[in-house]
Amino acid sequence: MTSKQRAWAVMSVAYLAGVVIALNQFKVPPVMPVLMADLQVDMTTGGWLMSSFAVAGVVLGLPAALVLDKLGPKGAGLLALGAAVLGAVIGALAADATMLLIGRAVEGVGLGLISVVAPAVISLWFPPAERGLPMGIWASWVPVGSFLIFNLAGPLRGAFGWQGLWWLGALAAAGAFALYAAVVSAPPAPASPPGARPPAVAFGRSLLNPASWTLALMFATFTFAFTGYSTWAPTYLTAALGLDPATANFDASLSSLAVIPATLAAGWVLDRTRRRKWVAAAALAAAGVLLLWSFRLPAAVLVAPYFLLLGSIAGFIPTTAFTLAPETMPRPELAGLALGILSLGQNLGTVLGAPAIALLVADGRWEAGIFPVVGALALGLGATLCLNTPPAPERAPASDAPAA
């Protein structure tokens, strides 16, 4: 197997691990009305059933870089998937909202780790000039996972109740665990002179790197707006436009479907432009305009094209964020720290989005939900315009040397 083939094999399994964890993260929205009725909770608590998953991601955002440094890509990834299995089993057996929230928090450990580990693995195996496409593929991990569970939710709930989604998540995470253990590793270390020691990775001063934090702020605004909106979109479509739950789940999942080719297109664009932040800036501006209609779509016939268009624009934002993150640090060894900071922003936005929108749209005041999602993206656009990163390097000729 050549080094490039090996890199793509590792990337593919790391990507699968991310998809499985995203599938587990988005189990709640397609069965939100059922959960609220079964567990007898209000909309705010329902929002926390989604956001509690990301609380661990906030707590682990920066420590995940240390876990990656200590355990390596394999150990850290297996810890992430093991937490996903355990949390899903706890949730499947939960008899009340408290136990379900605990299970979601345990699952969230997997999110906090994999959102750092997987892109760090990609940055280790691919040189900067060639990261656009693999990072573009990686950036689709959340939409692919959410699309799958949104469309599997109906049959699973009909056959096994809402718990069927949790058992599926546990089985999927267990399968990904086995594949990850077999395939993923760090790339061979480059040859060094006899007696030479690799430079120590000092996180202290690099932790204050303003470019990494600015990028994290941009990503936090994106996840606040899009995770918050996607959490309540099926409920909104059912309550305000009269769609049946299956149709509402499918239509809401179309944005995730559209994100998948969009992330690939974004990766292609990023590999061919040196001023990468402008890709995210344009997408944030366009998405902000579209979200002006997020909670006031005038007719059901517009729902499907609206979500397809929204997803096709949104895919450019995470792709740019994951591609730029390692470039905000002065040394490749600090890529994990940059991705940890990015993960902190990603999960903080995820935690806050759904409950914040729930507070505003309670009692059917759906149009009030427009203000936080559009305002968040406006803030993200400002952060992107302030972002200072070096121009991307020129692409080098492809190498296909055998792996060491």
User: Is residue 404 very low, low, confident or very high in pLDDT (cuts 50, 70, 90)?
Assistant: very low
**pLDDT at 60 exceeding the cut of 80:** no
Give 53 or 395, the one with higher predicted confidence: 53
User: Is residue 204 very low, low, confident or very high in pLDDT (cuts 50, 70, 90)?
Assistant: low
**pLDDT at 194 exceeding the cut of 60:** no
Rg (CA), the chain: 20
Range 105-120 burial, b when 16+ CB lie within 10 A, else e = bbbbbbbbbbbbbbbb
Task: Using alpha carbons, list the distances in angstroms from residue 65 to 101, 119, 224, 227, 291.
Answer: 25, 11, 23, 24, 34
Of 231-245, 268-282, 368-382, the poorest mean pLDDT is in: 268-282
DSSP letter, residue 208: T
pLDDT for residue 78: 97
DSSP letter, residue 30: G
User: Is residue 190 very low, low, confident or very high in pLDDT (cuts 50, 70, 90)?
Assistant: low
Residue 194 lies in a domain: no
User: Is residue 350 very low, low, confident or very high in pLDDT (cuts 50, 70, 90)?
Assistant: confident
Mean pLDDT of 47-51: 80
H/E stretch holding 190: none
pLDDT for residue 400: 44
Average pLDDT for the chain: 86
Residue from 172, 227, 164 nearest 35 by CA: 164
User: Is residue 399 very low, low, confident or very high in pLDDT (cuts 50, 70, 90)?
Assistant: very low
Residue 11 lies in a domain: yes
Residue 397 lies in a domain: no
Q: Let me know: does 110 contact 24? Beta carbons within 8 Å.
A: yes
H/E stretch holding 126: none
User: What is the domain-level CATH number for residue 311?
Assistant: 1.20.1250.20
pLDDT for residue 402: 38
User: Is residue 42 very low, low, confident or very high in pLDDT (cuts 50, 70, 90)?
Assistant: confident
Structure tokens that stand for 342 in this block: 């990015």
Q: What percent of the chain has pLDDT over 70?
A: 91
Residue 284 lies in a domain: yes
Give the whole-angstrom CA distance, residue 387 versus residue 384: 5
Q: How many domains does the chain have?
A: 1
**pLDDT at 371 exceeding the cut of 70:** yes
Residue 190 lies in a domain: no
Q: Let me know: does 319 contact 268? Beta carbons within 8 Å.
A: no
Residue 192 lies in a domain: no
Residue 392 lies in a domain: no
Residue 195 lies in a domain: no
pLDDT for residue 200: 53
Give 272 or 357, the one with higher predicted confidence: 357
Give the whole-angstrom CA distance, residue 73 versus residue 55: 22
User: Is residue 345 very low, low, confident or very high in pLDDT (cuts 50, 70, 90)?
Assistant: very high
pLDDT for residue 403: 40
pLDDT for residue 48: 82
Give the whole-angstrom CA distance, residue 335 versus residue 215: 13
Beta bridge partners of 2: 402
Mean pLDDT of 220-225: 96
**pLDDT at 57 exceeding the cut of 80:** no
Range of the domain at 268: 3-185+208-386
**pLDDT at 198 exceeding the cut of 60:** no
3-state secondary structure of 402: strand
Give Cα 299 to chain centroid, integer Å: 30
